[in-house]
Amino acid sequence: MQSPAPGRHAPPRDQAARSRWLGTALIGGAALAVLLGAIRLIADGTALFPGAEQGWALAVLTGIIVGHLVALGRDRWWGGSGSGAALTLAMLLLYGWVPAALVSLAVVTLVGTVRRHRRPQALLHGAADITGIGAAALVLALWGGHPSVARPWLPAGWDAAAIPALLCTALVYLGVTRALLWLCFAPPGGGRPPGPYRAALLRQGSVGVALLGIAPLIVVVAVHKPVLVPLFAVPLIALDSTLWIARVRAEEQLLDPLTGLPNRRWLLDRTRVALAEAERTGSRCALVLIDLDRFRWVNDTLGHLAGDRLLLRIADRLQRALPGDAETARLGGDEFAVLLPTVASATSAQRAAREILASFAAPLELDGMPLVVEASAGVAVYPEHATEPEGLLRRADVAMYTAKRNRAGAEVYEPSRDINTPGRLGLLGDLRRALDTGRITLHYQPKVGFDGRVAGLEALLRWEHPVRGRVPPDQFIELAETSGLMPRLTEYVLETALGQVARWREAGITVPVAVNVSPRDVHTPGFAGAVAARLARHGVPAGSLQLEITEHVMLEDPQQAADTLAGLTGHGVRMSLDDFGTGYSSLSHLRRLPVSELKIDRSFVARLARNAEDAEIVRCTVDLAHSLGLVVVAEGVEDDQTWERLRDLGCDAVQGWLVSPAMPAAETTAWLRARRTDAAHDGPPPLSGATAAPPARRAGP
């Protein structure tokens, strides 16, 4: 369903009431003025309209212009018709305001008769035009001009002093009519007109001046050669068409060509008006950014034409779900925005966003296939989050991506999650430079079995910032994931870790190393082949590399993730499922993922010795993993009681500060050598003096 053009949007209640009051007053005043003027002329015995050759010539020109307006076939914009204005002004200058008003009335009547659905708008245009004629007649009277059919203002009496009168009369007529029409048909929210409309207003003004400049020429020709008056239809219609083109281009600049909804440019202009009103009244307004989840699947499966039809259905549903005076726009692709001009708080704005998302719950049928459309929304509120439209939109975008990552539906903007703050952007630049200069290092944390054998090492990133000191890994890894730097960071980790594994193997130390990879890496086409090529280049067997993934890899694009993981295991790379128990559907993912190891998240391990529920969760997890043939590793082991409890529950290996913190490569090498690494064994080497007792806590950070 096509939405109305931005300039014709339904106004808020107060503006609608103002427009109705103004329209009623205009129509009533114009009708009364024409009636009284006609009665006075009839009482004086004066004709209402010129007769003879001049009258017929002007009537024919009027008929041609009416035919042009009807044939144009478009709804009249708030600027009205320039050709009709030129003819009306010519009548005013030559025969006075009553004949001019009758010409305007004839145009309105005839056009309204043919296009019945536009009669109310036609009446408003006519009333504004007649009011403008009256204002121009008053200006002309101030210059001593009182033309009528009986006493026309003939060009023979014009001199240099008549030029200011002609100019002022034309400008007042143009200004009053356009101002009244703007008040009646202005876009909602008041304030200054949107950017494209301001440009169109200037174009319309210049075209209007050109059209009104023709009016005195019509007067001259009507007096001396009336038979030529109908020929003015050619330049009038040509210039009038230019005005219509300006209107159409202005609307096209503000509309999305597919859905007919307003576009980003309109949204920013409209938001600017809403912010100004909120500042004036001391209220709040909000911007909601909506992005469809997995819309790419529709395009890939059913084709882009089906995707376009789905967007049309969604746009229609979105419009019907809008609360109160809210307005919507399509920003491009599968992104939509909703402007809430007045909200009580961020919570109420979030509630409105969730109600809009709830309207998507009912399935949509497309090509006989029922589709359930899901979406994520981000909310930003003025003045808490931003004070200008661009900032509000940017922060709503940040909140939307947070909602998409967390699968939370609708999220309100939080500065702590925004990487686009100056401090975080500066940190991102420092991270890029640290990668370029090799200041990002890898530390290695051992995984140790209860029989005393080293089960492997996990490569962990460390960054010592020259000013900030040690930056927490969670902080700069999140920066990399949200900025597009993650593939480069993963490439750096793999290159560094495999190079170190190769050096250890040359030294007779054969211990497997685990590297964390992000969902973005797994969803990158060709990732499995790139890993295999890197293994071959370093001369490292695939069994010496283990990749740690999380359940999130299956959430966005399960097929791509499955293909990548199958490729990696096909090359011989082992997979480990990290942070088990913190995802959304762990058991279903565990069944689908080709992993050989499961790591219990530290949040369960930390309370294991004190919390019976956590202990039961760990026990069930160990039993489940063993039934599937998986090795179980517990993370975050820091005390003897937890070690003993995990051993009793049947866990296979542990990792944590009780064994050792993450160490630089040189220190890890010394740690491994001290445990009498078995050079002939291409698997977990034993600890020297292996025992089932927990190792002593290692000193150090």
Q: How high is the pLDDT of residue 691?
A: 40
Residue 151 DSSP code = S
Reduced 3-state DSSP string for 504-573: HHHCCCCCCEEEECCHHHHCCCCHHHHHHHHHHHHCCCHHHEEEEECCCHHHHCHHHHHHHHHHHHHCCC
Cβ pair 79, 184 in contact under 8 A: no
Q: How high is the pLDDT of residue 58?
A: 87
HSE of 496 in the Cβ direction (CA atoms, 13 Å)?
A: 23
Extract the tokens encoding 300: 């890939």
Given pLDDT bands bounded at 50, 70 and 90, which one contains residue 392? very high
pLDDT digits (tens, 9 = 90+) for 558-570: 777 888 889 999 9
Architecture of domain 437-675: Alpha-Beta Barrel (3.20)
Return the number of other C-beta atoms located less than 10 Å from residue 583's C-beta.
19
Distance CA 605, CA 639 (A): 11
Given pLDDT bands bounded at 50, 70 and 90, which one contains residue 402? confident
Nearest Cα to Cα of residue 16 among 260, 177, 129, 183: 183
Q: Where are the domains of the chain?
A: 20-189+196-253, 264-412, 437-675
Cβ pair 510, 685 in contact under 8 A: yes
Lowest mean per-residue pLDDT among 37-46, 137-146, 368-377: 37-46
Given pLDDT bands bounded at 50, 70 and 90, which one contains residue 247? low
Higher pLDDT, residue 653 or 242:
653
By three-state DSSP, how is residue 253 classified?
coil
What amino acid is encoded at 367 in this protein? Answer: D
What amino acid is encoded at 438 in this protein? Answer: G
Q: What length is written for the chain?
A: 701
In CATH, the number for domain 264-412 is 3.30.70.270
- Within this chain, domains 264-412 and 437-675 share the same CATH topology: no
Q: How high is the pLDDT of residue 502?
A: 96
Alpha helices in 6-118 (DSSP H): 13-43, 52-72, 82-95, 97-114
Phi, psi of 458, deg, nearest 5: -110, 125
Distance CA 5, CA 248 (A): 10
* pLDDT for residue 188 is more than 60: no
Q: How high is the pLDDT of residue 507?
A: 92
pLDDT digits (tens, 9 = 90+) for 505-539: 999 999 999 999 988 888 888 899 999 999 999 99
Cβ pair 461, 477 in contact under 8 A: yes
Higher pLDDT, residue 119 or 597:
597
Extract the tokens encoding 296: 């790419």
Cβ pair 439, 642 in contact under 8 A: no
* pLDDT for residue 79 is more than 70: no
For the chain, the first-to-last Cα distance in angstroms comes to: 64
Cβ pair 24, 202 in contact under 8 A: no
Q: How high is the pLDDT of residue 186?
A: 57
Lowest mean per-residue pLDDT among 263-277, 387-401, 467-481, 580-594: 580-594
What amino acid is encoded at 123 in this protein? Answer: L
Distance CA 206, CA 82 (A): 11
Positive or negative, the Cα torsion across 153, 155, 160, 165?
positive
Encode 273-309: b = buried (16+ Cβ within 10 Å), e = exposed. bbbebbeeeeebbbbbbbbbbebeebeeebeeebbeb
Distance CA 348, CA 232 (A): 59
Q: Is the peptide bond before 383 cis (omega within 30 degrees of 0)?
A: yes
Global pTM value: 0.51
Nearest Cα to Cα of residue 366 among 293, 321, 318, 311: 311
Please report the beta strands in 369-453, taking only residues with DSSP state E, as ranges in sequence order.
Answer: 369-371, 375-382, 410-412, 440-449
Extract the tokens encoding 229: 């008056």
Nearest Cα to Cα of residue 452 among 691, 695, 659: 691
Q: How high is the pLDDT of residue 191?
A: 45
Residue written as token pair 């994520």: 376
Extract the tokens encoding 576: 């480990």
* pLDDT for residue 329 is more than 90: yes
Extract the tokens encoding 508: 């007779």
Q: Which residues contact 391 (CB under 8 A, 6 or more apart)?
A: 385
Q: Could you tell me whether strands 469-471 and 454-465 are parallel, antiparallel, or unpaired per DSSP bridges?
A: antiparallel
Nearest Cα to Cα of residue 87 among 75, 105, 73: 105
* pLDDT for residue 113 is more than 50: yes
Burial class (CB in 10 A: 0-12, 13-18, 19+), 217: middle
* pLDDT for residue 86 is more than 90: no
Compute CA distances 26 → 126, 326, 330, whole Å: 9, 29, 36
Cβ pair 629, 601 in contact under 8 A: no
Phi, psi of 237, deg, nearest 5: -65, -40
Extract the tokens encoding 226: 């009336």
Cβ pair 329, 264 in contact under 8 A: yes
Cβ pair 573, 531 in contact under 8 A: yes
Lowest mean per-residue pLDDT among 135-139, 306-310, 437-441: 306-310
Encode 348-366: b = buried (16+ Cβ within 10 Å), e = exposed. bbbbbbeebbeebeeeeeb
Higher pLDDT, residue 135 or 210:
135
Phi, psi of 315, deg, nearest 5: -60, -40
Distance CA 386, CA 525 (A): 38
